[in-house]
């Protein structure tokens, strides 16, 4: 239920942030949910919202930084994607994490994590 609710907020928020604005800050409690699928949905929802409303994420980047090191592979595979989305729109939000993204791209054992970190770096430097 939590996973689907978070996904719904992401879909709605991409189209109209104003509709989900009253729930937006509460969304961040799901970043530490006990279920990996809920954490994954939190990242995905944030990517969707950030597509059209990136400025609201500036102060929340450390939360996504923690998710880069999540114990769950699928969460770690998705975590760099918020950096990619924001790197295209607000590269200054991602700049402080470039070294960490580079290190993960070189050392993580999961190939998809590496690729997604490189994608975040490329999106950020291409701006």
Within the chain, residue ranges assigned H as helices are 2-15, 17-27, 36-52, 61-67, 73-89, 91-94, 98-107, 111-125
pLDDT in tens, 47-88: 999 999 999 999 999 999 999 999 999 999 999 999 999 999
pTM of the model: 0.96
CATH number of 2-125: 1.25.10.10
Mean pLDDT over residues 2-10, rounded? 97
Return d(Cα 12, Cα 3) in angstroms, integer: 14
62 Cβ contact partners less than 8 Å away, ≥ 6 residues apart: none
- Is 70 exceeded by the pLDDT of residue 6? yes
User: Rounded to the nearest 5°, which phi and psi values hold at 53?
Assistant: -140, 65
Average pLDDT over residues 94-123: 98
User: Hey, where are the domains in the chain?
Assistant: 2-125
**CA distances (Å), 56 to each of 12, 27, 105, in order?**
16, 13, 27
């Amino acid at each position: 239920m939590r996973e689907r609710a978070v996904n719904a907020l992401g879909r709605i928020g991409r189209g109209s942030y104003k509709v989900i604005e009253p729930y937006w800050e509460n969304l961040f409690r799901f970043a530490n949910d006990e279920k990996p699928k809920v954490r994954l949905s939190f990242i995905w929802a944030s990517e969707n919202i950030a597509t059209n409303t990136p400025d609201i994420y500036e102060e929340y980047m450390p939360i996504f930084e923690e998710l880069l090191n999540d114990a769950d592979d699928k969460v770690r595979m998705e975590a760099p994607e918020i950096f990619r989305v924001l790197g295209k729109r607000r590269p200054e939000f991602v700049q402080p994490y470039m070294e960490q993204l580079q290190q993960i791209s070189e050392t993580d054992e999961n190939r998809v994590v590496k690729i997604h970190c490189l994608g975040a770096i490329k999106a950020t430097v291409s701006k």
